[in-house]
Structure 1
Amino acid sequence: MIKIIAVLCSLSSPANCYDRTVTTSDFAAISVQSCLMGAPQLAEWMRKHPAERLAGWRCEVGKREGRRA
Protein backbone atom coordinates (compact mmCIF):
# COMPACT_ATOMS: atom_id res chain seq x y z
CA MET A 1 0.00 0.00 0.00
CA ILE A 2 1.19 3.50 -0.82
CA LYS A 3 0.88 6.13 1.89
CA ILE A 4 0.68 9.79 1.01
CA ILE A 5 2.12 12.04 3.70
CA ALA A 6 0.97 15.62 3.16
CA VAL A 7 2.68 18.70 4.56
CA LEU A 8 -0.24 20.91 5.53
CA CYS A 9 -0.31 24.50 6.74
CA SER A 10 -3.18 26.24 8.45
CA LEU A 11 -4.68 29.09 6.42
CA SER A 12 -5.28 31.06 9.63
CA SER A 13 -1.65 30.59 10.73
CA PRO A 14 0.57 29.93 7.66
CA ALA A 15 3.67 29.25 9.75
CA ASN A 16 1.84 26.40 11.50
CA CYS A 17 2.68 23.42 9.27
CA TYR A 18 2.63 19.72 10.04
CA ASP A 19 2.77 16.28 8.40
CA ARG A 20 -0.39 14.22 8.09
CA THR A 21 -1.06 10.85 6.51
CA VAL A 22 -3.92 11.39 4.09
CA THR A 23 -4.07 7.80 2.90
CA THR A 24 -7.54 6.33 2.91
CA SER A 25 -9.01 3.21 1.35
CA ASP A 26 -9.36 5.26 -1.86
CA PHE A 27 -5.56 5.40 -2.11
CA ALA A 28 -5.06 1.63 -1.82
CA ALA A 29 -4.87 1.12 -5.59
CA ILE A 30 -2.55 3.98 -6.56
CA SER A 31 0.92 3.36 -7.89
CA VAL A 32 4.14 4.98 -6.75
CA GLN A 33 4.27 6.86 -10.07
CA SER A 34 0.75 8.23 -9.53
CA CYS A 35 1.66 9.27 -6.00
CA LEU A 36 4.80 11.08 -7.16
CA MET A 37 2.74 12.97 -9.75
CA GLY A 38 0.37 14.25 -7.08
CA ALA A 39 -2.38 11.65 -7.07
CA PRO A 40 -5.73 13.11 -8.12
CA GLN A 41 -7.14 11.67 -4.90
CA LEU A 42 -4.99 14.14 -2.97
CA ALA A 43 -6.75 17.03 -4.71
CA GLU A 44 -10.10 15.56 -3.72
CA TRP A 45 -8.94 15.19 -0.11
CA MET A 46 -7.82 18.84 -0.08
CA ARG A 47 -11.18 19.96 -1.48
CA LYS A 48 -12.80 18.40 1.59
CA HIS A 49 -10.39 20.23 3.95
CA PRO A 50 -10.51 23.89 2.86
CA ALA A 51 -8.98 25.29 6.07
CA GLU A 52 -5.59 23.81 5.17
CA ARG A 53 -3.03 24.58 2.45
CA LEU A 54 -1.00 21.83 0.84
CA ALA A 55 2.67 22.81 1.10
CA GLY A 56 4.01 19.50 -0.23
CA TRP A 57 3.74 15.73 -0.03
CA ARG A 58 5.78 12.57 -0.09
CA CYS A 59 5.05 8.95 -0.84
CA GLU A 60 5.84 6.04 1.45
CA VAL A 61 5.44 2.36 0.81
CA GLY A 62 3.72 0.91 3.88
CA LYS A 63 4.29 -2.52 5.33
CA ARG A 64 1.43 -4.92 4.92
CA GLU A 65 -0.08 -6.14 8.17
CA GLY A 66 0.47 -9.80 8.86
CA ARG A 67 3.41 -10.04 6.47
CA ARG A 68 6.42 -11.94 7.73
CA ALA A 69 10.05 -11.37 6.80
Structure 2
Amino acid sequence: MIKIIAVLCSLSAPGNCHEQMVTSSDFANVSMQSCLMGAPQLAEWMNQHPAERLAGWRCVFGQQTGRST
Protein backbone atom coordinates (compact mmCIF):
# COMPACT_ATOMS: atom_id res chain seq x y z
CA MET A 1 0.00 0.00 0.00
CA ILE A 2 1.25 3.47 -0.89
CA LYS A 3 0.75 6.35 1.50
CA ILE A 4 1.05 10.04 0.70
CA ILE A 5 2.70 12.25 3.30
CA ALA A 6 1.91 15.93 2.74
CA VAL A 7 4.11 18.77 3.98
CA LEU A 8 1.72 21.51 5.06
CA CYS A 9 2.69 25.06 6.04
CA SER A 10 0.47 27.54 7.86
CA LEU A 11 -0.63 30.51 5.77
CA SER A 12 -0.40 32.78 8.81
CA ALA A 13 3.10 31.53 9.77
CA PRO A 14 4.82 30.19 6.64
CA GLY A 15 7.76 28.82 8.62
CA ASN A 16 5.41 26.64 10.66
CA CYS A 17 5.30 23.40 8.65
CA HIS A 18 4.45 19.84 9.52
CA GLU A 19 3.92 16.50 7.84
CA GLN A 20 0.53 14.86 7.73
CA MET A 21 -0.53 11.57 6.23
CA VAL A 22 -3.16 12.16 3.56
CA THR A 23 -6.27 10.24 4.50
CA SER A 24 -9.24 9.87 2.22
CA SER A 25 -11.06 7.02 0.55
CA ASP A 26 -9.94 8.60 -2.76
CA PHE A 27 -6.36 7.58 -1.92
CA ALA A 28 -7.09 3.96 -0.98
CA ASN A 29 -5.69 2.51 -4.21
CA VAL A 30 -3.35 5.23 -5.46
CA SER A 31 -0.45 3.96 -7.59
CA MET A 32 3.17 5.01 -7.05
CA GLN A 33 3.17 6.70 -10.46
CA SER A 34 0.03 8.68 -9.61
CA CYS A 35 1.47 9.63 -6.23
CA LEU A 36 4.73 10.85 -7.71
CA MET A 37 2.82 12.93 -10.27
CA GLY A 38 0.91 14.67 -7.50
CA ALA A 39 -2.17 12.49 -7.33
CA PRO A 40 -4.90 14.75 -8.71
CA GLN A 41 -6.84 14.02 -5.54
CA LEU A 42 -4.35 16.17 -3.57
CA ALA A 43 -5.96 19.38 -4.85
CA GLU A 44 -9.36 18.26 -3.58
CA TRP A 45 -7.87 17.11 -0.28
CA MET A 46 -6.26 20.56 0.16
CA ASN A 47 -9.71 22.16 -0.09
CA GLN A 48 -10.32 20.63 3.34
CA HIS A 49 -7.25 22.48 4.72
CA PRO A 50 -7.85 26.15 3.75
CA ALA A 51 -5.52 27.57 6.42
CA GLU A 52 -2.53 25.68 5.05
CA ARG A 53 -0.60 25.43 1.81
CA LEU A 54 0.88 22.30 0.33
CA ALA A 55 4.66 22.76 0.40
CA GLY A 56 5.40 19.26 -0.86
CA TRP A 57 4.60 15.60 -0.52
CA ARG A 58 6.28 12.24 -0.54
CA CYS A 59 5.14 8.75 -1.33
CA VAL A 60 5.97 5.86 0.98
CA PHE A 61 5.22 2.16 1.04
CA GLY A 62 3.44 0.88 4.12
CA GLN A 63 3.41 2.76 7.42
CA GLN A 64 4.51 6.34 8.10
CA THR A 65 7.77 6.50 10.05
CA GLY A 66 6.82 9.61 12.04
CA ARG A 67 9.46 11.83 10.44
CA SER A 68 8.85 15.54 11.00
CA THR A 69 9.90 18.66 9.13
* TM class by smaller structure: 0.7 to 0.9
Larger Rg: 1
Give TM-score, length-normalised by structure 2: 0.84
Q: Flag structure 2 segments of 5+ consecutive residues without an equivalent.
A: 64-69
Unaligned ranges ≥5, structure 1: 64-69
Say whether residues 1:29 and 2:25 are aligned partners. no
Do residues 4 (structure 1) and 16 (structure 2) align?
no
Identity of aligned residues (%): 76
Displaced runs of 4+ in structure 1, greater than 4 A?
none
The number of aligned residues is 63
Shift of 1:29: 1.3
Question: Is 2:56 aligned against 1:56?
Answer: yes
TM-score by length of 1: 0.84
**Residue 44 (str. 1) matches residue 38 (str. 2):** no
